[in-house]
Structure 1
Amino acid sequence: MIAQSPIAGDSRILREATALAAAGHTLHVIGRDVPDGFEVGPGITVESVSRSSGLRTGNGGLTVGHGHSGPKVLAKRFGRWLLLPEHRNRTEKHWRTAAAPVVAAAGPVDVVHAHDFNTLELAAEYAAKWSAKLVYDSHELWFDRALPGRPTPLWRARGRRYEVSLASRARVVFTVSDGIAERLRSRGLSDVRVVRNTFPRADDVPAAPDRPEGLLYAGRVGAGRDLPTVVAAARQLLPFRTVLMGSVDPNYRLDLGPVETVAERSIDEVDDTLRTYGISLVTLTNTCENHRLALPNKLFHAVRAGVPVVAADLPELRAVVTQYKLGGLYEPGNAQSLTAAVRSVIENYSTYTDGVRTAAAELNWEHDAATLVTAYSEL
Structure 2
Amino acid sequence: MKVLMLVQSPIAGDSRVLREAATLTAEGHTVHIVGRDVPEGFDPGDGVTVESVTRSRGMRPPGTPRGAALTSSSGPRAVVRRAGRWLLLPEHRERTERRWRDDAAKLLAGRPAPDVVHAHDYNTLGLGAELAGRWSARLVYDSHELWFDRGLPGRPTPLGRRRGRRKETRLAGGAEVVLTVSEGIATRLRQRGLRDVRVVRNTFPMAGSEPPELPDAPAGIAYAGRIGPGRDLEAVVGAAARLAPLRTVLAGPADPGYGLDPAGVELLPPMALAEVDRLYQEVGVAVVTLTDTCANHRLALPNKLFHAVRAGVPVVAANLPELHAVVLRYGLGRLYQPGDASSLATAVKAVAADYTGHVEAVRKARPELAWEHDSRVLADAYADLEAE
Sort the TM-score into its range (normalised by shorter chain).
over 0.9
CA displacement, residues 310-357 of structure 1 (integer Å, 9 cap, x when unaligned): 000000000000000000100000111111111111111111111111
Deviations 1:55-91 (CA, angstroms, capped at 9, x unpaired): 236668999xx95433222111111111111101100
Tell whether 2:35 aligns with 1:31: yes
Letter of the aligned partner of 2:51 in structure 1?
A: E
CA-CA distance at 1:158 after TM superposition: 0.2
Give the length in aligned residue pairs: 377
1:140 aligns with 2:145: yes
Q: What secondary structure sits across from 1:112 in the alignment?
A: strand
Deviation at 1:250, TM superposition (A): 4.0
Identity %: 61
Cα 1:40–1:59 change in 2 (3 A) is closer
Of residues 201, 204, 207, the one that matches 1:199 is 204
Q: Which runs of 5+ in 2 are unaligned?
A: none
Distance in 2, Cα, partners of 1:60 & 1:236: 34
Letter in 1 for 2:226: R
TM-score, with length taken from structure 1:
0.97
Q: Paired residue for 1:159, among 164, 170, 178?
A: 164
The correspondence of residues 213-224 of structure 1 with structure 2, limited to 5 A, is 213-224=219-230
Of 93, 115, 118, the residue aligned with 2:120 is 115
Aligned to 2:372: 366
- 8 Å CA contact 1:62–1:254 kept in 2: the answer is no
Paired residue for 1:327, among 316, 333, 337? 333
1:78-133 CA-to-partner distances (Å, cap 9, x unmatched) read 11111111101100001111110223344301000000000000000010001000
Q: Distance in 1 between matches of 2:381 and 2:124?
A: 20
Alignment of 1:11-22 (within 5 A): 11-22=15-26
Alignment check: 8 A CA contact 2:68 2:255 kept: no
1:182 aligns with 2:187: yes
Supply the distance in 1 between the matched residues of 2:67 and 2:9 (Cα, whole angstroms).
21
What amino acid sits opposite 1:254 in the alignment?
Answer: L
Which residue in 2 is equivalent to 1:6? Answer: 10
Distance of 1:361 and 1:27 partners within structure 2: 27
Distance 2:331 2:126 in 1: 40
Code of the residue aligned with 1:48 in structure 2: it is S
Q: Which structure 1 residue ranges, 5 or more long, are not aligned?
A: none
Does the CA contact (< 8 Å) of 1:104 and 1:126 recur in 2?
A: no
Match for residue 239 of structure 1?
A: 245
Q: 1:278 aligns with which of 281, 284, 302?
A: 284
Q: Distance in 2 between matches of 1:114 and 1:59?
A: 29
Asked if structure 2 preserves the Cα contact closer than 8 Å seen for 1:62 and 1:248, the reply is: no
CA change 1:200–1:293 in 2 (3 A) is same
| C-alpha separation in 2, matches of 1:311 and 1:94 | 37
Matches within 5 A, 1:333-352: 333-352=339-358
Q: Distance in 2 between matches of 1:61 and 1:123?
A: 28
List per-residue Cα deviations over 1:238-272 (Å, max 9, x = no partner).
22110000111242221111111112111011111
Q: For residues 222 and 111 of structure 2, what CA distance do their matches in structure 1 show?
A: 42
Q: TM-score, normalization: structure 2?
A: 0.94
Which of 224, 228, 248 matches 2:234? 228
For the residues of structure 1 that align with 2:268 and 2:304, how far apart are their CA atoms?
Answer: 16
Structure 1 CA distance for aligned equivalents of residues 131 and 68 of structure 2: 43
Ranges of 4+ aligned residues in structure 1 off by more than 3 Å: 56-63, 66-69
RMSD over equivalenced CA pairs, Å = 1.6
Distance 1:319 1:6 in 2: 31
**Does 1:125 pair with 2:124?**
no
- In 2, the alpha carbon distance for the partners of 1:355 and 1:181 equals 26
